[in-house]
Amino acid sequence: MKRSLPVFVLASLCAVSTALATTYVRVEKDGSKTYSDRPLPGGQPIDLQPAQSYSAPPQPSTGSRIGYAQEEVDNFTYGSCTVTPANDSTFNNPESVPISVATSPPLRPNDTVILKVDGQNAGPPGTMNFTMTPVNRGTHTVSVTITSRTGRQVCSASASFHVMRPSVNSPVNRPRPTPH
C-alpha cells in the first residue's frame, strides 16, 4: 500500500504531462494498483480524462466596458448645485452671514469645490460652509465651481445678497424735537 501511492502519484503526473499517451493499470495480489505508461504483464489499458484546466478571460481592450465606465465618469455632471443665501436675499444689520454649498447627488470624493465670496476664495479648496464676518453694507456675490479630478467643470452656481445697515443720520432715526 505504501509503495502504490507514490507510484500512483508519479503515474498521474506522467498521465497529465502526456495527455495523449495510453496508461496501463495492473491489480496486484494484495489489491493495490500499479500504473504505467508502458504495457504491463497482466495490465489493462485505461482511459484517463484530461485534467480540468482554467483559462483566464481575455483582458478588455480600451473600447470595452471599462473604457465605457471611464467615459461615463468623464461625462458626469451634477443634477444641481446651489449656494445659500438665495439670490437677492436681504439682511438687515447682520453680525454674520452663513454661506453654504449643496449638490445633488452628493459631492463625489475626488471633485474639487472652490467657494468664492466677492471674488475671493472663502477658505481652502473643498470648503462647503463659510461664515462671512464682518459683513459690510452693500451687495455681495457668492459663487461655487466644482471640477472633476480631470479638471473639467461639472457644476457652478452663483447668487447675490444685499446687506442693509441703516445710518444714524437716516430721517427715520433723527430725534424728534421736544416741545417747549
Kindly report the CATH number assigned to the domain that includes residue 117. Answer: 2.60.40.10
User: How open is the CA angle 17-23-24, to the nearest 5 degrees?
Assistant: 150
Residue-level pLDDT, tens digit, the chain, 180 residues = 555 666 666 666 655 554 557 888 898 889 898 888 888 888 888 887 777 888 888 776 554 444 445 555 568 889 889 999 999 999 999 999 999 999 999 999 889 999 999 999 999 999 999 999 989 999 999 999 999 988 889 999 999 999 998 776 655 555 666 776
Cα Rg of the chain, angstroms: 41
Q: Which of 78, 94, 114, 62 is nearest to 162 (CA)?
A: 94
Q: Count of domains in the chain? A: 2
Domain of residue 132 covers: 75-164
Residue appearing with cell numbers 502504490: 4
Q: Which of 111, 99, 100 is nearest to 148 (CA)?
A: 111
